[in-house]
Amino acid sequence: MAKMERLQKVIAHAGVASRRKAEQMILDGKVTVNGKVVTELGTKVSKNDDVEVEGVPIDKEEPVYYLLYKPRGVISSVSDDKGRKVVTDYLPEVKERIFPIGRLDYDTSGLIILTNDGEFANMLMHPKHEVDKVYVAKTKGIPSKEQLQQLKKGMTVDGEYLKAVHAKIMSTDGKKNTAIVQVILHEGKNRQVRRMFDALGYPVDKLKRERYGSLDLKGMNAGEYRPLKPHEVKVLREMAEENVK
Ligand code: URA
C-alpha cells in the first residue's frame, strides 16, 4: 500500500505553502482530495490520491536536497530575464523543480542548498532560525580588532539593524593592504556582509560562504554539486526546528 501522509504535509512538501498555511487552506475549504473538498486537518492521503489546491493539482515529486558550490557571477534564482547564468544551470541532471534556499549575491561564491521541499525551505529561512552561516571576506584595507567588534555589537545600516555573531582576522597582506576576515552570521539579510563592511569603511572585494550549519564545501570545486545525505537533511531540520520553537 502507498505511504499515507497528512494532507497539510503533502501540500507543504509540494512547495505550495508552509505547513501552517496549508492547514489554513484546508480549513478554508480550498483543498480537494479526489474531487471532494476536505476540511479535516487529520486527513491522510497517499500518492494515489489527487490533491488540488484552489483547483490546481499539486506536484507529487519526491523531496530532493542538493548542495551547490555556487561560483561567482551566477544568480541565485531558477531563471533570469537577462539570460545570465542561474544556480539551477549547474544541476542539469536534476529533473525535479528545485529552487535555492535563500540567496547569495551574484558576486558571492559558496555553499547554497537547493530543494523542491517548500516546507523545509520555509523552515530554514525562518527569521528565528539560528544556524551559523560562515563567510570569508577579503576586504580592501585592514580593519582593527576594535572595528571588528563593531560588527558583533551590531550596527544600523540604511535603517536596518545588522549584526554578526563572530568576526575575526584570518590573515593580512600589508603590501596589498587587504585582509581575510571570517564572519559568522545567524541572520541572512540582503547583502549583509558587504553592507556591514561598507559601513565600517572596508569594502568587501571577494566573498565566499564556506559553511551553512553542519554543511561545508570540503572536497568540492566551484560549480560542483552533490545530493545531501539523508542524515544531513535530518540534522538541518532538527537544528531549524529547535531554534524556531
Ligand atoms: N552577505 C553578503 O553580503 N552577500 C551574500 O551573498 C551573503 C551574505
User: In this predicted structure, what is the pLDDT of residue 124?
Assistant: 87
**Residue to mutate (ligand 1; options 186, 191, 205; most atoms within 8 A of CB):** 191
Q: Are residues 220 and 124 in the same domain?
A: yes
CATH number (domain holding residue 94): 3.30.70.580
Say if ligand 1 is within 6 A of residue 193 CB.
yes
CATH number (domain holding residue 42): 3.10.290.10
Report the predicted TM-score, pTM, of the whole model to 2 decimal places.
Answer: 0.80
Q: Are residues 51 and 108 in the same domain?
A: no
Q: Are residues 186 and 233 in the same domain?
A: no
> In this structure, which residue's CA is closest to atom 7 in ligand 1?
104
Say if ligand 1 is within 6 A of residue 76 CB.
no
User: In this predicted structure, what is the pLDDT of residue 127?
Assistant: 66
C-alpha cell belonging to residue 95: 529533473
**Helix ranges (DSSP H) in the chain:** 7-13, 19-27, 118-125, 145-153, 192-200, 230-244
Q: Are residues 124 and 138 in the same domain?
A: no
User: In this predicted structure, what is the pLDDT of residue 243?
Assistant: 62
Q: Are residues 201 and 219 in the same domain?
A: no
Active site residue 105: yes
Q: Are residues 189 and 69 in the same domain?
A: no
Distances (CA, A) of 55 to 5, 32, 58, 89, 91: 20, 8, 9, 31, 31
Q: Are residues 200 and 240 in the same domain?
A: no
Say if ligand 1 is within 6 A of residue 192 CB.
yes
Q: How many domains does the chain have?
A: 3
Q: In which domain, by residue range, is 207 found?
A: 133-212
User: In this predicted structure, what is the pLDDT of residue 160?
Assistant: 96
Distance 242 CA to ligand 1 centre (A): 25
Mean pLDDT by 10 residues, the chain (245 residues): 86 81 94 94 89 84 93 95 95 91 96 92 79 96 96 96 96 98 93 97 98 96 98 90 64
C-alpha cell belonging to residue 35: 474531487
Q: Are residues 155 and 118 in the same domain?
A: no
- Between CA 32 and CA 42, with CA 36 as vertex, the angle to 5 degrees is 65
